[in-house]
Chain A
Amino acid sequence: MKQVVIKYSKIYLIFFKNSVAELGSHRFNLLMSAVGNIVWTFSQVVTLQFLFQRINSFDGWSINDMILLLAFGQIFAYTMFIFYFDNHVELQTKTVLGELDMYLTKPLNLKFFLSFASVSVAQFIPFFVAVLPLLIIGVRDLRAVGLLDIIFCITVFMIGVIAMFFLSLSIAGLNFFTDDASSVRDIVMNSMDLNRIPISILPSPAQFVFIFAIPIAFVTYYPVLILKSSQNMFLIILAGLIVLISFYLLSKIIWNQGLKRYSGAG
């Protein structure tokens, strides 16, 4: 087990180094994309400030709570963009064009290889420039938070991140069954806009969707809720683990069946 961890860590380090080395070729484009992301984040803050000039709270959530929610949403989005999003998007082309061939002959976990081979290093810029300040602003007026709350908050967030990773992997695997499954990813991406509002204001069926079908509640709503007020941690973590395991199994089934259908064009 230890050797496997060492092997995969070394390989990930190579992926990271190679991605940094490749960065040089796309400097201008990446810089502009980073600027765009920073502008977007600050436009969200300005919108919130504008709104909260007229209202005091939004269903019991203050402007700082909302900024914290935005910060968690952005931390998740950048985690996704930095580590696996582009790789999963490119999988569609790779599957259709038969470019998985060379990956399939390597003695390496295929899903690891295809998910992490390229790291979007440039996304670290907006992450540090825009998101960390949001986090700092967001936690200003929080209640006195204990270490346990922070640990639970991070645990729930991590469960959400991993569950969303397996959801993304499952969607990528759909490309084995159809020529283009990108619209399924669009559904998830579009619904992620809702991670900037507390899901408690949504009707019950919508809440169910964002907890169990597209589990963004675990990357934004619940982590902030844990910091905001004391919660039943056990239930949140149990629900999170059920979701995580379900998506892990779903991705496993889709990929096992999908690879049998892979036809490797040419």
Chain B
Amino acid sequence: MKPIIKVENLTRTFKQYKKEPGFKGTIKSMFNRQFFEIKAVSDVNFEIEEGEFVGFIGPNGAGKTTTLKMLSGILHPTSGEIRVDGFVPSERESNFLKNISLVMGQKSQLWWELPAMEGFILNKEIYEIDDKFFKERVNELAKLLEVGDILKVPVRKLSLGQRMKCELIAALIHNPKVLFLDEPTIGLDVVVQKKIREFFKQYNQESKTTILLTSHYMEDVAELCKRVIIINHGQKIYDGSLIELTKNYANDKYLKLVFNSKVAKSDLSKYGEVIDFEKNGLKGTISVSREDHTKVAAAILQNLPVDDLDISEVDLEDIVAKIFQQELK
């Protein structure tokens, strides 16, 4: 299959200046400003195929948003090449912009004082959508996101979750081929996060839209993306399937245990590293090697008063943290 996004040797540097603290530093920086360059993205390469849902992970300042902004034509790369749906994003051709959409959890495209519907109508004209398709599309998306009753309420009166749902409608009204999501669930409560995740999942399956997602919430990535790209200090450090990532970086599995009578922490630590242990001695989680986990589970079941046992993969969050720690070393 032909890639819809192709990134080759992508680099972006930012010029910044530093100022010494205090009054003296202020005066000094007025006459002799010291500039330096920061490489936000450095020699990044990847390809994304049509319909893929890819997670873009990295700590703060890793270069995720900068990459997303270059892919959507907001920023010009310092060097390297990008092709999205055959277009060079920084040229901002109309046919390119009509086929993409960007949702930023911390930025809004809706008019604060006006109902969200007014923003949708503006987008209808900007994207040259005909009346019939517009009505159907708004109804369909509003139904999926369960916001049909708030579209005529001024945006400033909406809750953060409602606002984000309206932002999503505004972003998807023109049925983009490629959707860039930058922290779309940031600040939302778990119920709304889950609802929005379900929406993305269904939307990707039904519309075959290519989606690139950055999120600090690993649940978003774990639930939605089969493939992840991990970036740190502007460099790509992993690009592959989520399953492979778990296999390669998580040598352990978690045994989550519930006991029907009190157990000492020392009893549990005999079987593996204790990750979590409740003071009342009735719940605990241990990490055991992937190879031995069945044997260890059998031994625990035989020797401890187990009421419930759950074997799970190590959290994606822990895996990613481990990768970043290795990078640091």
Interface of A with B (CB < 8 Å)?
Answer: 7, 10-11, 14, 18, 21-22, 25, 99-102, 104-108, 110, 259-260, 262-264, 266
Contacts and interface: CB of A to CB of B under 8 A. Distances in A.
A102 B102 contact: yes
15 contacts: A14-B121, A21-B113, A22-B114, A25-B113, A101-B69, A101-B74, A101-B107, A104-B73, A105-B72, A105-B73, A106-B97, A107-B94, A108-B126, A262-B76, A264-B69
A25 B157 CA distance: 13
Given A110-B92, A264-B74, 18 more contacts: A14-B118, A14-B122, A18-B111, A18-B114, A21-B113, A22-B111, A101-B102, A102-B109, A104-B73, A104-B74, A105-B100, A107-B97, A108-B126, A262-B74, A262-B75, A263-B14, A266-B65, A266-B106
B127 interface: yes
B126 A260 contact: no
Nearest to A101: B74
B101 interface: yes
B83 interface: no
Nearest to A109: B94
B127 A107 contact: yes
B104 A101 contact: yes
Interface residues of B, number: 31
Contacts of B98: 107
Contact of A263 (B75, B100, B101): B75
Contacts of A263: 14, 75
Nearest to A10: B125
B251 interface: no
Interface string B234-250: 00000000000000000
Contacts of A105: 72-74, 97, 100-102
A264 B73 CA distance: 11
B108 interface: yes
Nearest to B118: A18
B125 A7 contact: yes
A260 B118 CA distance: 31
B74 to A, nearest CB: 5
Nearest to B110: A102
B289 to A, nearest CB: 41
B126 A106 contact: yes
B128 interface: yes
Given A11-B122, A264-B69, A266-B65, A102 B104 contact: yes
Chain A interface SS verdict (over half)? helix
Nearest to B154: A25
Nearest to A179: B17
A107 B173 CA distance: 14
Contacts of A102: 102, 104, 107-109
Contacts of A14: 118, 121-122, 125
Contacts of A99: 107
Contacts of A264: 69, 74-75
B211 to A, nearest CB: 15
Contacts of B92: 104, 110
Nearest to A17: B118
A262 B122 CA distance: 25
A264 B90 CA distance: 14
Contacts of B94: 107
B312 to A, nearest CB: 35
Interface in B188-234: none
Q: Which 10 A-B pairs have the closest CB atoms?
A: A107-B97, A107-B94, A102-B109, A22-B113, A104-B74, A260-B76, A105-B102, A10-B125, A107-B98, A11-B125
A106 B94 CA distance: 8
Nearest to A260: B76
Contact of B126 (A11, A25, A259): A11
Nearest to A12: B125
A263 B78 CA distance: 11
> Interface centre among A18, A21, A263, by most B CB within 10 Å?
A263
A109 to B, nearest CB: 9
Nearest to A262: B75
Contacts of A108: 126
B304 to A, nearest CB: 50
Nearest to A22: B113
A21 B75 contact: no
A10 B101 CA distance: 22
Nearest to A11: B125
